[in-house]
Amino acid sequence: MTIGIGFRFAGGVLMGADTQVTYGNASKTVGSKIAHSAPRVPGYSLLIAGAGCVDSMNLFFQKLVKKLDKSKKTLQAARQCVENTLRSLYLDHIYPNRTYRNPDDGIQVLIAFRGPEGNIGFWKSEETAILDIDNEFECVGSGAHAAHFFSGPSYRPNMEAGEALVVAVDVLRQVKRFDPFCSGISEVRVLHEDGRIFEKFADPLLRIEGYLGKCERAVQKLAKDCADMALPEPAVDERLQCFCEALKTARAELENPLTKTLREFFALQPVQKIKMS
C-alpha cells in the first residue's frame, strides 16, 4: 500500500511518496518508492514513483532502463519502451502467477522522462496502458483518492519550486494521517527541466512537515479561542497577536535550511524567500 504523487511545476516534474514498504501480507519495513536514473551516459534522465509489488517494481525498472539504453531516446520512443516493458512484465510474470490468493502483485507507476530533445514526458500506467499527464496532479496507490482531495485547494500548474515542494509535503502529510496503509518519512525527488535529478530534501521535508503541523494547530486554536461571540475585541486582538507570533516562530525554524537547499539546486538569483500561503 502506498501513496505516490507527481505533477509538473515551472521547473520540471516533482514526485513524492511515503516510505512504508510491505512485503507479503504483514512484513513492513522502510524503503524508497521512487527510482531514478540520471544523468545516464546514453543521454536521458528517468524518474519513477510506483505502487504495488516491490519485486515487480524493481523488475520493471531494471527492464525499462535496459530498453531505454538501446532506444532512440525520443519521447515517442521512450513512451513505447515504457508500454512494451509493462506489457512484457504483465504477460510474462504477473498474469501467469495471478490467483485469488495473490491478486495484488501488479504495479502502477508515474514516469517522467527527459531525453536529448529537452522536453519532459510525463506518464501514468494502468496495468499495460500508458496515459499522458499534462498539467495535472496525479497519484497512485491506496492513498490516491485522499491525495486528490487534499491537493485540490493548493495545487495549480506552473508553480514555482518552493511552492511545489511545500504543496507536495503537505499532501503527503495529510494522506499519512488519514490512510493507515501510508506511513514513514516522506520522500520527494525532482526531475529538473535541464535533466538533473534532485533528491537531497531529507532535512527540509521534516522541517516543512513540522511547520505545516504547527500552523494547522495554531489555526485550530485561534478558531476555538475566538468562537465566543461575547469575547471583547481586545481579547480577540490578543489572540490574533499570539497566532502571528506562533507562525513567526514556526517559520524561523523552517526558512534557512529550506531556502539554502532550494538555492543550491534551482540557483535562485537573487536568493528569494519562500512565500507561504
Is the pLDDT assigned to residue 266 strictly greater than 90?
no
Indicate if 83 and 216 belong to the same structural domain: no
- pLDDT value for 194: 86
- pLDDT value for 39: 64
The answer to the question of residue 277 being in a domain is no
**What does the DSSP 8-state code read for residue 103?**
-
Indicate if 195 and 210 belong to the same structural domain: no
pLDDT classification of 274: cutoffs 50, 70, 90 = very low
The answer to the question of residue 276 being in a domain is no
Question: Taking each helix axis from N to C terminus, what angle separates 161-178 and 233-266, rounded to the nearest 10 degrees?
Answer: 110
Which residue in the block uniquely carries the three cell numbers 495545487? 155
Question: Taking each helix axis from N to C terminus, what angle separates 161-178 and 144-151, rounded to the nearest 10 degrees?
Answer: 130
pLDDT tens track for 139-182: 999 999 999 999 988 898 888 888 888 899 999 999 999 998 89
Range of 164's domain? 4-199
Indicate if 146 and 29 belong to the same structural domain: yes
DSSP 219-247: HHHHHHHT--TTS-HHHHHHHHHHHHHHH
> Would you give the distance in Å from CA 65 to the centre of its chain?
21
CA-wise closest residue to 62 among 75, 50, 74? 50
The answer to the question of residue 271 being in a domain is no
Indicate if 143 and 262 belong to the same structural domain: no
Indicate if 109 and 47 belong to the same structural domain: yes
Q: Virtual CA dihedral for 70, 109, 119, 188, nearest 10 degrees?
A: -120
**What does the DSSP 8-state code read for residue 193?**
T
Indicate if 114 and 226 belong to the same structural domain: no
pTM of the shown model: 0.86
Number of domains in the chain: 2
Indicate if 107 and 141 belong to the same structural domain: yes
pLDDT tens track for 185-197: 899 999 988 888 8
Highest mean pLDDT among 4-8, 154-158, 246-250: 4-8
